Structure 1
Amino acid sequence: MDIGLVSPVVTRLPGDPNAWEDTAGIEDLARIAAAADRLGFHHLTCSEHVAVPVPVAEQRGSTYWDPLATFGFLAARTTRIRLVTQVLVLGYHHPLEIAKRYGTLDTVSGGRLVLGLGVGSLREEFDLLGAPFEQRGERADDALRALRAALSQRLPEYHGPHYDFAGLIVEPHAVQAKVPLWIGGRTKRSLRRAVELGDGWVPFGLSLDELRRMLGTVRLPDGFQVVLSPGRPLDPGAASDRDRLARVAEAGATTISARIAAKSADHYCEQLEALAELGSEV
């Protein structure tokens, strides 16, 4: 069972109890990332929003660090831990833009990129960026096929209904032969999309019972990753939270992506030590 981390500092959600993150900066995050790297955690995450409307921020929060800039910095401060976009919104980008920008990140990090990708739901942000909101699921499927054809290729070629390219050089490109694609979402369609076009599923907002039922409706390919969250921030020293990890594993998780309860960056690193020890028992 791999355990990864929902990175602190880079995303701030309403009601988050870790108040110290409000004033933390990149050096705090880098210290935490280095500790997680040393302790063998699987991944760090960073999400994507360009601009969040004020009313929406009351539910979704307003702080979202840019994943490319953040991971570029953290790649230089770590050596093993994977860097997971959780998630990039496919409709905001041309597939070759992702292939070039994040392929460069894969190069500078030594092949540690995982692309977490989603269809997106914030219409105001689509409109802001001039991205089509209607048929975004269909376009996302085409983008995933285009990405699979383009990532790791110097001369990518793809011909689909929405994206069509050939005779172009992308250099640098991803150094991994196959960059893992994890698909975010909370619907049966997102799970089918992940099974058909990706390498993993990162659901959110579903109970463990709902997850078990949904996972029971599909046959998962060999090596497919089911990346589940324990929910609220995890305190590795609490017996109830140790039980929570076990329940998430029993629900079908191959990888757990956890948020950590902490009072400071120093305390966060201490909690990582405890979680690493606990993780070896799950």
Structure 2
Amino acid sequence: MRVGIVTPVVAQPPPGNAAWERDAGIDEIGRIAETADRLGYHHVTCSEHVAVPAEAAEQRGGAYWDPLATFGYLAARTSRVRLATQILVLGYHHPLAIAKRYGTLDRVSGGRLTLGLGVGSLEEEFDLLGAPFAGRGARADDALAALRASLGRRMPEYHGAHYDYSGLVVEPHAVQEHVPMWIGGRSERSLRRALAADGWVPFGLPLRTLAEMLAARDLPPGFDVVLAPSRPLDPIGDPDAAGTALARLREAGATIAGVRFVSRSAEHYCEQLAALRELSGTYDLVFGEEQ
């Protein structure tokens, strides 16, 4: 099982963020990403919300760094860690806008983009952006097909129910021939959608439920299941609990763990990254070679 991080600071939903994150900025984010890159972690993440209603922010949090700007900066400070949107809301964008903007990110990062995508659930944000909320699932399915036909192509062509285009040049475009796409969600429908992509990033479900859902499906070769422990890990203070939490993810079907850490500062966070890597041999965790 590989290990990536749910990047601190860039999203701060309660109650999981540490106190130091509230005043942290891009330098702390960059330092953590550099450390993850050097230690061979699989990916860092950044989520997307444009504007969260004040009432919803009490549950979802209000701080969400823009993934394109954030990853553009982190791409220059790292060399191999993957940059995973977790998640972009498909209904907020035309597929060619994603193909162009994030294809450019794939190019400037040397082919390190992973697109985490989802249908979205915040109706007020859809309304703000002038995006239709009703029928968003069918529109998202069409957008996924359009993206698969368009990413990495100079002259993409697609003809679907909601998106139809040809004869257009998208330059620059992604350098990966096949940009990995992970689907976020917690329903059977999200898993079905993910099976047409490259991976599933579920949330808010018990591990037993996740294991049952995965066992009922014929997963294709190379399909990624990205699961997160229910609580932040503390490999310095309680390495056994950290290892046990990751073992439970593997037993439930995870191929990649997306982890958070107990931390008092950015420096302490980087120390936790190193401590977890030290446990890799004991708990069969896969990291890239340390640089």
TM bucket normalised to smaller = over 0.9
Residue 264 of structure 1: aligned partner: 265
**Distance (whole Å) between structure 1 residues aligned to residue 17 and residue 120 of structure 2:** 26
Shift of 1:17: 5.0
User: Is residue 2:220 matched to residue 1:221?
Assistant: yes
Q: TM-score, normalised by structure 2?
A: 0.95
Residue 163 of structure 1: aligned partner: 163
Residues 222-261 of structure 1 aligned to structure 2 (within 5 Å)? 222-237=221-236, 238=238, 239-261=240-262
Shift of 1:279: 3.0
SS of the residue aligned with 1:56?
A: helix
Residue 184 of structure 2: aligned partner: 184
Residue identity in the other structure for 1:268:
Y
Residue 278 of structure 1: aligned partner: 279
Shift of 1:260: 1.1
Residue 210 of structure 1: aligned partner: 209
Residue 289 of structure 2: aligned partner: none
**Distance (whole Å) between structure 2 residues aligned to residue 219 and residue 236 of structure 1:** 34
**Distance (whole Å) between structure 2 residues aligned to residue 46 and residue 17 of structure 1:** 14
The gaps in structure 1 that reach 5 residues or longer are none
Residue 24 of structure 2: aligned partner: 24
User: Is residue 2:100 matched to residue 1:103?
Assistant: no
SS of the residue aligned with 1:50?
A: coil
Q: TM-score, normalised by structure 1?
A: 0.98
Question: For the Cα contact (< 8 Å) 1:3–1:279, is it kept in 2?
Answer: no
**Distance (whole Å) between structure 2 residues aligned to residue 17 and residue 169 of structure 1:** 42
> Structure 1 17/175 Cα, relative in aligned 2: closer, same or farther at 3 Å?
closer
Residue 124 of structure 1: aligned partner: 124
Shift of 1:274: 0.5
Length, aligned pairs only: 281
Residue 59 of structure 1: aligned partner: 59
270-279 or 80-89: bigger deviation: 270-279
Shift of 1:14: 1.7
**Distance (whole Å) between structure 2 residues aligned to residue 130 and residue 250 of structure 1:** 42
Deviation digits for residues 58-100 of structure 1, max 9, x if unmatched? 0000000000000000000000000000000000000000000
**Distance (whole Å) between structure 2 residues aligned to residue 230 and residue 186 of structure 1:** 15
Shift of 1:104: 0.1
SS of the residue aligned with 2:31?
A: helix
268-277 or 81-90: bigger deviation: 268-277
Residue identity in the other structure for 1:59:
Q
Residue identity in the other structure for 2:271:
E
**Distance (whole Å) between structure 2 residues aligned to residue 261 and residue 280 of structure 1:** 22
Ranges of 4+ aligned residues in structure 1 off by more than 4 Å: none
Shift of 1:261: 1.0
**Distance (whole Å) between structure 2 residues aligned to residue 275 and residue 155 of structure 1:** 44
Residue identity in the other structure for 1:179:
V
> Structure 1 229/120 Cα, relative in aligned 2: closer, same or farther at 3 Å?
same
**Distance (whole Å) between structure 1 residues aligned to residue 154 and residue 235 of structure 2:** 44
**Distance (whole Å) between structure 2 residues aligned to residue 176 and residue 243 of structure 1:** 35
95-104 or 268-277: bigger deviation: 268-277
Question: For the Cα contact (< 8 Å) 2:8–2:17, is it kept in 1?
Answer: no
> Structure 1 17/64 Cα, relative in aligned 2: closer, same or farther at 3 Å?
closer
The gaps in structure 2 that reach 5 residues or longer are 284-291
**Distance (whole Å) between structure 1 residues aligned to residue 278 and residue 258 of structure 2:** 16
User: Is residue 2:199 matched to residue 1:200?
Assistant: yes
Question: For the Cα contact (< 8 Å) 1:111–1:174, is it kept in 2?
Answer: yes
Residue identity in the other structure for 1:40:
G
Question: For the Cα contact (< 8 Å) 2:3–2:258, is it kept in 1?
Answer: yes
SS of the residue aligned with 1:80?
A: coil
Deviation digits for residues 13-41 of structure 1, max 9, x if unmatched? 12235100111110011011101000000
**Distance (whole Å) between structure 1 residues aligned to residue 129 and residue 11 of structure 2:** 21
Question: For the Cα contact (< 8 Å) 1:103–1:172, is it kept in 2?
Answer: yes
98-107 or 268-277: bigger deviation: 268-277
Question: For the Cα contact (< 8 Å) 2:184–2:200, is it kept in 1?
Answer: yes
Question: For the Cα contact (< 8 Å) 1:126–1:133, is it kept in 2?
Answer: yes
Deviation digits for residues 125-156 of structure 1, max 9, x if unmatched? 00000000011000000000000000000000
Q: What is the Cα-based RMSD across aligned positions, in Å?
A: 0.8
